[in-house]
């Protein structure tokens, strides 16, 4: 996809693996590094929206209206206290998903909508729901890359095969350029040899890259969303925040030179 921004879907049909936390934290880390970032909440539960301090009740235009073709994506963008640009989700996305199933171009709608703001951002990060339905397929269809957040525990990779099958289908039929950036190990307890072994097994079984560094397990991640912020601002120098900064640097370092220094950068909306 020849546009300025790089779009990454954070996908895993398993819930509670830190998809939402990773989207918010990588997003905040990229902003800190001077990048222009748009986050997209594709989960009807609206956890990303909520965790960034935006009350779904106050949202007038959400991702649902965008997907249904009722509003352009620019109408839906809101700014969090931390300065993150977000396309929010509300519970209305659940109904929209049901309607979408029988609508023309259902899997292309997010891609087509986001293309309109692709030049305004360096990164677009999509928070997928914990399912492999039309919302996740639509997210994968809109993405250049996918990152799979995963908790490094024994049974954590049950389901990875199924996700890879879905990615394979999306590549074959919709988005041939979709790349898997890798697995992001979350809630990682580095003190156990077990966690390391699980990651090695995932690398070997599925041929997936495990991104470095893993994100350490810490209660600080549960605290931040309660006040609508990310760990990047609530516990600035904590090793959890530092790990997400390093992941952001890995992403930035992989940009092609033309993308690293876009000649004309449009300013991002700020409060």
Instruction: List residues near Mg ion by CB under 5 A.
Output: 19-20, 47
Q: Which among 19-27, 31-39, 191-199, 260-268 is the span making contact with ligand ADP, rule CB under 6 A?
A: 19-27
Report the phi/psi class of residue 206: left, alpha or beta, with left for phi > 0 and alpha for psi in -120 to 50.
alpha
Q: With DSSP H G I counted as helix, E B as strand and the rest as coil, what are the percentages for the chain, rounded to 5?
A: 45, 15, 40
Of the two residues 144 and 189, which places its CB atom closer to ligand ADP in the complex?
A: 189
50 binds ligand ADP, rule: CB under 6 A = no
123 binds ligand ADP, rule: CB under 6 A = no
Min. distance of Cβ 184 from ligand ADP in angstroms? 10
Of the two residues 8 and 117, which places its CB atom closer to ligand ADP in the complex?
A: 8
Closest CA to 251 of 47, 51, 37, 87: 37
108 binds ligand ADP, rule: CB under 6 A = no
Min. distance of Cβ 267 from ligand ADP in angstroms? 30
Of the two residues 47 and 234, which places its CB atom closer to ligand ADP in the complex?
A: 47
- Cα–Cα distances (Å) from 105 to 75, 137, 141, 151, 216, in that order, read 21, 12, 11, 34, 40
62 binds ligand ADP, rule: CB under 6 A = no
With H, G, I as helix, E, B as strand and everything else as coil, classify residue 36. coil
Binding partner of residue 46 among ligand ADP, Mg ion, none, CB cut-off 5 to 8 Å per kind: none
Binding partner of residue 21 among Mg ion, ligand ADP, none, CB cut-off 5 to 8 Å per kind: ligand ADP
Closest CA to 125 of 221, 42, 211: 42
Min. distance of Cβ 175 from ligand ADP in angstroms? 22
Min. distance of Cβ 220 from ligand ADP in angstroms? 8
- 143 contacts 7 by C-beta, under 8 angstroms: yes
152-189 CB burial, b ≥16 within 10 A, e <16: beeebbeebeebbebbeebbeebbeebebbbbbbbbbe
User: Which residues within the stretch 176-235 sit at the binding site for ligand ADP (CB under 6 A)?
Assistant: 186-187, 215, 217-218, 221-222
Binding site for ligand ADP (CB under 6 A): 15-21, 47, 130, 186-187, 215, 217-218, 221-222, 240
């Amino acid at each position: 996809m020849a546009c300025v921004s790089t779009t990454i879907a954070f996908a895993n049909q398993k819930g509670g693996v830190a998809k939402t936390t990773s989207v918010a934290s990588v997003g905040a880390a990229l902003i800190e590094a001077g990048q222009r970032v748009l986050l997209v909440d594709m989960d009807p539960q609206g956890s990303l929206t909520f965790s960034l301090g935006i009350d779904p009740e106050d949202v007038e235009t959400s991702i649902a209206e965008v997907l249904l073709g009722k509003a352009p994506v620019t109408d839906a963008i809101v700014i969090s206290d931390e300065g993150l640009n977000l396309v929010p989700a509300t519970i209305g996305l659940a109904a929209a998903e049901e309607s979408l199933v029988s609508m023309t171009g259902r899997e292309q709608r997010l891609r087509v909508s986001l293309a309109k703001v692709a030049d305004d951002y360096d990164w677009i990060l999509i928070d997928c729901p914990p399912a492999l339905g039309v919302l996740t397929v639509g997210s994968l269809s809109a993405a250049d890359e996918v990152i799979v957040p995963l908790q490094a525990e024994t049974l954590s990779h049950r389901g990875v095969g199924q996700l890879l099958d879905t990615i394979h289908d999306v590549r074959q039929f919709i988005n041939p350029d979709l790349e898997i950036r890798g697995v992001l190990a979350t809630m990682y307890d580095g003190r156990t040899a077990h966690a390391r072994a699980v990651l090695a097994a995932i690398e070997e079984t599925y041929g997936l890259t495990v991104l470095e560094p893993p994100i350490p397990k810490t209660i600080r991640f549960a605290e931040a969303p309660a006040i609508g912020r990310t760990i990047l601002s609530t516990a600035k120098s904590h090793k959890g925040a530092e790990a997400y900064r390093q992941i952001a640097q890995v992403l930035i370092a992989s940009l092609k030179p033309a993308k690293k220094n876009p000649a004309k950068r449009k300013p991002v909306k700020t409060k």
